[in-house]
A and B are shown apart, each in its own frame.
Chain A
Amino acid sequence: MSTPLITTRELAKSYALGGFTVHALRGVSVDIAAGEFVAVMGPSGSGKSTFMNLLGCLDTPSSGEYLLAGDRVSGLDSDALAAIRNRRIGFVFQSFNLLPRTSALENIALPLLYCGVSGEERDRRAAARLAEVGLAERGHHHPAQLSGGQQQRVAIARALVNDPVLILADEPTGALDTLTSCEVMALLQQLNAQGMTVVLVTHEHDIAEFAKRVITFRDGRVIEDRVVEKPQDAVALAAQLREGRASDETQGGEVPA
């Protein structure tokens, strides 16, 4: 068997909080292979977000090991972690985190700004990614001029722009309605089908069912790690929802005021 993309060994994180020590993560050992689609679940305080932050190199573990594609990440300095975030990981956040008053294209090109890509090349790659998420004509729109779903698609394009090995999505559907959530999940499933490794944090069972594997956290430990036998098809579900909505609207139109 080849080296897993992600390997954690007894990964732990504790904070000092007002004289108490909070153990957010108490020794997590997980392997995630390249091409997997993993949903991380658990109630709030279960440690799933902490786990996610460690995987994303946004935070450093108190103890334990984390290897990304065989390279030891734990123990690197902040500049080296920034380089890993820049080149190997793409983030998708619940609140999109797009820069306001900045065009979609410039938002997508943001990671390229920090790895010395020339202006022309930045524009070219940002435009290509924007087309991939189906918003080619919206390149010069500002986030405020885009719907929630469109903003999240721009954010996904930004995550993809530097050809990462891993997409980390932290509650990517938390701020979206059901249909839009389905559409975003469809996009993630499509990326996964093309070979991208996706790790998704969510507390919604519906959303977790789109993934191929679900890891459940409680009190800083993994309590369940299961393979989803038959993941939901987001494209089909979205089409179904759209149909339902359309028929609702037609019915609504027939009811006299």
Chain B
Amino acid sequence: MNVLASMRIALRALRINKLRSALTMLGIIIGVAAVITMIAVGSGAQSQIESQIKGLGTNLIILMPGSSTSGGVRMGAGSRNTLTEEDGYAIQRDVPSVQASAPTLRGTGQVVGGSGNWSTVFYGVTPEYFEARNWVVAQGKGFEAADISGSAKVALLGDTVARNLFGDTDPIGQIVRIRKVPFTVIGTLEKKGQSLMGQDQDDVILMPISTARNRVLGQGAGRLRTVGSVSIKVRDGENMAEAEAQIRDLLRQRHRIQSGQEDDFTLRNLSEVLSAREESSKIMGLLLAAVASVSLLVGGIGIMNIMLVSVTERTREIGLRMAVGARGRDILTQFLVEAITLALIGGLLGIALGVGGSLAIGRFVGWPIQLGIEPVALAVGFSAAIGIFFGFYPARKASRLLPIEALRYE
């Protein structure tokens, strides 16, 4: 007897008890839907964190000045002007495990241009900044060495700034005034989205560091060229802790800090925080999937229960089939196919419900959702396995009935 014929017999048997079949399937439907939804939510959260780490650079170290003390009150990290542009260049030059070291000046201000104005943050950067912070120029071009040395009044706009000032029109070649200083827009930056803290990373303008210092922030030439921070990217495959130690040694030497004295700078490695977060979201996802699996298991037991009832109810049918020539294995196949059919139909409905539920959560709750083919394939495989596993015992029980006893069963 072929599988297709068995399938037809199974479908007929399931149709005869529609309500019972539907209720039995419900267990599998809920289980599969729960598994798919939980995996979608879990992996959505995980991939969001992963992309944030990627956006930030997994091997990024932020170097900031240390804290200052003013009248006994400590001012917090970054309040001292101990870090200079030259420190940034020295790290690039002298620490071999560093791929890019980008000294950065930060400022805020009103930008006027195009059809409106916008308050945003701007960074004075060197070309290394793009590499260190994974910025990509979407349109136009980046800064050249001449722009840095000549304090050129050129700027790159983040996506949010470009949209707020220029809407749909092309901002390249346009003039924007940053703190009343006119700049030519030479390019736009590729969209990065929200940061881990929920900040809009695209609400930004980049300009050459010299321009920021000399023309916008108004620090005169000749003064110590201090910077707010240095973004350092460590080469792939290099040990982060080792790189940090080398940078620390170099800076202590440059700043002439005696052994025993505290650093006058701070090194931060954000990826540690992020990987801890990723770990916890992974555990959360696993927990959710485990809970969902329990409901799948309960659904499977429901199938076994109904199949046992069905075998008892249809003992005479089994007897008759045996009398007209069905072998034990034919009966086994019939009931096994019936259980698998029940589980698979439930599984497919569960997939529909799970995908729909995931999309609904993404839409109405606003959680990040990631639907992959793997959890769906997993759910189908799982429900078929449940059908086989929980269907086997009742089916074997049916196949072992003696024809004469099955026929006489009342």
Contacts and interface: CB of A to CB of B under 8 A. Distances in A.
B328 A78 contact: yes
Given A58-B403, A58-B404, A97-B407, A111 B327 contact: no
B316 interface: yes
Interface in B292-342: 316-317, 319-330
A68 to B, nearest CB: 15
B197 interface: no
Interface string B326-360: 11111000000000000000000000000000000
A82 B322 contact: yes
A99 B327 contact: no
A154 B403 CA distance: 21
**Size band of the B side of the interface?**
20 to 34
Interface string A89-122: 0010100010111100000001101111001000
Interface string B16-48: 100000000000000000000000000000000
A222 B5 CA distance: 44
B325 A91 contact: no
A87 B325 CA distance: 8
B396 to A, nearest CB: 14
A8 interface: no
A56 interface: yes
Contacts, number: 64
Interface in A48-107: 53, 56, 58-59, 78-79, 82-83, 85-87, 91, 93, 97, 99-102
B12 interface: yes
B8 to A, nearest CB: 10
Contacts of B404: 53, 58-59
Interface hub of A53, A116, A158 (most chain B Cβ within 10 A): A53
Contacts of A102: 12
Nearest to B319: A97
Contacts of B322: 58, 82, 85
Given A97-B316, A99-B317, A99-B320, A82 B407 contact: no
Given A58-B403, A101-B12, A113-B1, A83 B325 contact: yes
Given A59-B404, A110-B321, 16 more contacts: A56-B323, A58-B403, A59-B402, A78-B327, A79-B327, A83-B327, A85-B403, A86-B325, A91-B324, A97-B316, A99-B317, A100-B16, A101-B16, A110-B320, A114-B1, A116-B1
25 contacts: A53-B404, A56-B323, A78-B328, A82-B322, A82-B327, A85-B322, A85-B323, A85-B324, A86-B324, A86-B325, A86-B326, A91-B324, A93-B407, A97-B319, A100-B16, A102-B12, A110-B324, A111-B325, A114-B1, A114-B325, A114-B326, A114-B327, A114-B330, A116-B1, A119-B5
Interface of A: 53, 56, 58-59, 78-79, 82-83, 85-87, 91, 93, 97, 99-102, 110-111, 113-116, 119, 158, 162
Interface of B: 1, 5, 12, 16, 316-317, 319-330, 402-404, 407
